[in-house]
A = this chain, B = another copy of it.
Amino acid sequence: MITILCGGTGAGKFLHGLQRAFGGRKASRAITAIVNTGDDLVWWGLHVSPDLDSITYALAGMLNHERGWGVEGDTFECLARIRALGAPGWFALGDRDLATHLYRTGCLREGMTLSEVTAELAAKLRIPTRILPMSNDRVETRVLTEIGELSFQEYFVRERYAVRVGSVRFVGATEARPAPGVLPAIAEAEAVVLAPSNPITSIGPILAVPGIRQALATTRAPVLAISPIVGNAAVSGPAGDLMRAHGLPVSAVGVAKAYCDFLDVLVMDTQDAALAPQVEATDVRAHVCNTMMRDDATKEALAREVLRVAKHTKFRPRERATRS
């Protein structure tokens, strides 16, 4: 039983590789994905969960891998008409993708929890992997920027993360509870892996839900992370700017520092081999290998490597500091 903490793009790729490493979709029932919902938004009146959707589509084999979001082969007829009506159209929802949001919004309106809808969508798409939102409570990632405080999607999509960022906060986090199954999935896993997702705005909101960071610090399972930073930049997205704004070095070392209170192993790219000693100075073991997921074969190879490292990571009963 493997538990993965997930944001969007990088996590989708890694889960896709993991599914292959497990021998296909059926065998992937041994995986639990705990997914960031801090980016969720109400758009055109619909409840959209971008990271849950990317993960779900990736596991269903429906994801548009080139974009990293949305449904492969989707069309945008509705979007074009909405724009013609003068409504905001900067957040693009495809026509097929819309079905997910209409379905989710309807279920939530009928009183289902986000967990329940997510499980239902996974079941309809015949995904045996357990996909859990981090929380059924509303936690909203807000990014303070030079043009004011923005929602994550306003910052990421509308502004294309081209504005200077200050701090990030997670509104509602202190009152939020982990969704059912989240804490046991961490406590009882054979290994916990933080996907190569943005540490501040993808993994950050998950860690901000009270109890989750503590669970990572106290689980007997080895906790590994794959660095989303290779060299001095994020493989994709604004992780670099956000880490810098939070006083973290934009490097594998910064990733280790973000997680060092609970992390056993940081899986980092061969390009960054020279940084391994600095990583290990944070009391995190460094494992160096190729982490660039360029195609199905490299995704699967990374997943196999991570599973292998997890298997050989012995439990270190240690006084782990907890920050939550």
Measured CB to CB, the residues of A under 8 A from B are 44-46, 71, 74-75, 77-82, 84-87, 94-96, 98-100, 102-103, 105-106, 109, 121, 124
Contact = CB atoms under 8 A, between A and B. Distances in A.
A113 to B, nearest CB: 17
Q: Which of A80, A86, A106 has the most CB of B within 10 A?
A: A106
23 contacts: A44-B102, A44-B106, A45-B45, A45-B102, A46-B102, A71-B81, A74-B77, A75-B75, A75-B77, A75-B95, A77-B96, A78-B96, A80-B96, A80-B99, A81-B100, A82-B99, A84-B99, A84-B124, A85-B100, A85-B121, A86-B124, A87-B106, A98-B98
Contact of A78 (B78, B80, B84): B78
A46 B82 CA distance: 14
Contacts of A103: 82, 85, 87
Given A75-B75, A75-B95, 20 more contacts: A45-B102, A45-B106, A45-B109, A46-B102, A77-B95, A77-B96, A78-B98, A78-B99, A78-B102, A80-B96, A81-B98, A81-B99, A82-B102, A84-B124, A85-B121, A85-B124, A86-B124, A95-B95, A95-B98, A98-B98
Q: Which of A44, A77, A105 has the most CB of B within 10 A?
A: A77
A105 B75 contact: no
Contacts of A75: 75, 77, 95
The prevalent SS among residues of A at the interface is helix
A130 B277 CA distance: 74
A106 to B, nearest CB: 5
A105 B101 CA distance: 15
Contacts of A74: 77
A98 to B, nearest CB: 5
The 3 closest A-B pairs by CB, nearest first: A81-B99, A77-B95, A95-B95
